[in-house]
Structure 1
């Protein structure tokens, strides 16, 4: 969509990124708009696809998934069908939390959570070792989740002048 967004939209989005349960009334009181105006803006932001999804973010350790792995994957061939098949496998595998098609030494970088090393080994068996299109993969075990988030910086909108 080609709508114009302003710093008030950015303030709403910033608040929702940090607390998705914020009410329109609470946000409005914070930024100087009515709850109804905030609701209209949120609806517009959803329709524009700027708000892509609203979810609860869980602590993986608290639900029995204490291990986090970052895996770099190099494909045997970079053909469209091979890439698309790998993408589909990653989307379908519940253990995979994030998957990025990247440039550089690897073709894909994957982030996943597992109960234990056996859980991870089962993942590598079904997705890596049994796939003839995988040339190699490298696994890094996360020692400390220093920063984890899905918030998007909104500096470009916050620096714009607020409409009157």
Structure 2
């Protein structure tokens, strides 16, 4: 994935924002339905969506899967503290966490913690194996703390679009 901070992006007008509100709720909405909802032609909607994909505004079109439905019983939010914040150390950690399939989300953060990760595992034995591989056996990690979710109150990827 490209570094979004250096991506040129593009200015979004009210039509783009309306289209984004619809497709982020359901990216299978037919373009003719989107066109009717935002008062544009289907061809104009198609061009705008393609332009937003090319500009990196729309990153991917995915299905959001219920972890319980695929037997991922453990959801952990993990705080990771690196041994130092040198660029090479941070870059290695980013690459490792990005490549780990169990890591659903990863954020490089401020406030005394280096990273916050969301990890899904089928059971505690699997989760322990992940923590050993990513944290305990990693010389770049000074410490980590796991917060196990008791209930998924809200898990949504929809952005509020002004």
Show CA shifts across 1:69-127 (max 9, x none): 00001011111111111111101110000111000121000001000110110001111
Show CA shifts across 1:9-36 (max 9, x none): 1110000000010111011111211211
User: Cα RMSD (Å) of the superposition?
Assistant: 1.2
Check if 1:66 corresponds to 2:56.
Answer: no
Check if 1:88 corresponds to 2:95.
Answer: yes
1:160 corresponds in structure 2 to: none
Gapped regions of structure 1 (runs ≥ 5): 156-164
Show CA shifts across 1:36-80 (max 9, x none): 111111111112211111111111110111210000010111111
Contact persistence 1:65–1:113 (CA under 8 A): yes
1:128 corresponds in structure 2 to: 135
Higher relative contact order (CA 8 A, sep 6+): 1
2:11 pairs with 4, 14, 31, which one? 4
Q: How has the CA–CA distance of structure 1 residues 2 and 127 changed in structure 2, closer, same or farther, with 3 Å as cutoff? A: closer
Gapped regions of structure 2 (runs ≥ 5): 1-7
Higher alpha-carbon Rg: 1
